[in-house]
C-alpha cells in the first residue's frame, strides 16, 4: 500500500475540517474549535492500486502560518480551499499557491494541486462566481477546480480522487511506503 500525503490549505472558516471529516468519516460537523493541525488517515482503492491517504488539515489562522512550510515540504498533493461565500478567502489563494511553489521549488504545473470552492450549498450567499475561480485556475496553468459542499457531500470524494490521480501522474516516484518514524 502506498502512502500519500495530502495537505489542505485555506483561510480560517472555509471548511477544510468539514471537508476532511466528511471524506474520512462520512459525516458533517458544523461546529468545532479552530484547527491547529489534525492528521486523518483513509485507505482507498483506485483501480488495482491501494493507497493510505494521510490528510493534513492545517490551521487557517494567522497564528499558525509559520508551520505551513513544514507541511508543504512533506506534502505530495495540495487542496487549496476557499469559501464561495467569502471573497476574501478567494483572494488569499494566490499567496497560498505561491507558498507551495516556493517551498516545493517547482512551478505549479509540476505540483499536484486542486482548488475547491466550498460551501456551494449556500448559493444565495455566493460572493465568488465559478467563472472567476475557473479563470484563476486557468491563469495558473489549468489547475483543476471543483465546487464542493461538505454539508451535502457534493464532489468531496471526487476532489480527493482527482488529486490522487494527479499525484500518480505528476510524481509517480514520490509516494513512499509507510514509515514508522515520519513526521506527517
For residue 87, the model assigns a pLDDT of 98
Measured between alpha carbons, how far is 121 from 30 in angstroms, rounded to an integer? 13
pLDDT, residue 37, reads: 59
Cβ atoms 174, 76 nearer than 8 A: yes
pLDDT confidence of residue 29: 86
Please list the residues that pair with 142 across neighbouring strands: none
What are the grid coordinates assigned to 18, written together?
A: 468539514
Write down the pLDDT at residue 68: 80
Burial 81-110 (b: 16+ CB within 10 A, else e): bbbbbbeebbebbeebbebbbebbeeebee
Q: What is the pLDDT of residue 65?
A: 56
Phi and psi based region of residue 36 (left: phi greater than 0; alpha: psi -120 to 50; beta: remaining): alpha
Q: What is the mean pLDDT of each run of 10 residues along the chain (184 residues)?
A: 94 93 92 67 94 88 65 95 98 96 96 98 98 97 95 98 95 47 46
Quick one: pLDDT at residue 176?
45
In 59-184, the DSSP E strands lie at 77-83, 113-118, 144-147, 176-177
Report all structural domains of the chain as residue ranges with CATH numbers, in order of start: 2-171 (3.40.50.300)
Amino acid at each position: 500500500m502506498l502512502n500519500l500525503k495530502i495537505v489542505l490549505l485555506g483561510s480560517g472558516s472555509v471548511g477544510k475540517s468539514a471537508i476532511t471529516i466528511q471524506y474520512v468519516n462520512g459525516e458533517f460537523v458544523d461546529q468545532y474549535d479552530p484547527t491547529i493541525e489534525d492528521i486523518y488517515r483513509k485507505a482507498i482503492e483506485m483501480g488495482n492500486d491501494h493507497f493510505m491517504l494521510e490528510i493534513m488539515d492545517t490551521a487557517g489562522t494567522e497564528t499558525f502560518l509559520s508551520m505551513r512550510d513544514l507541511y508543504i515540504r512533506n506534502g505530495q498533493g495540495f487542496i487549496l480551499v476557499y469559501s464561495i461565500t467569502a471573497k476574501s478567502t478567494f483572494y488569499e489563494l494566490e499567496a497560498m499557491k505561491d507558498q507551495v511553489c516556493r517551498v516545493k521549488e517547482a512551478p505549479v504545473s509540476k505540483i499536484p494541486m486542486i482548488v475547491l470552492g466550498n460551501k456551494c450549498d449556500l448559493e444565495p450567499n455566493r460572493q465568488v462566481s465559478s467563472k472567476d475561480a475557473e479563470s484563476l485556475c486557468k491563469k495558473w496553468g489549468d489547475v483543476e477546480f471543483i465546487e464542493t459542499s461538505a454539508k451535502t457531500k457534493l464532489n468531496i470524494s471526487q476532489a480527493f480522487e482527482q488529486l490522487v490521480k494527479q499525484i500518480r501522474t505528476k510524481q509517480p516516484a514520490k509516494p513512499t511506503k509507510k514509515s514508522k518514524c515520519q513526521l506527517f
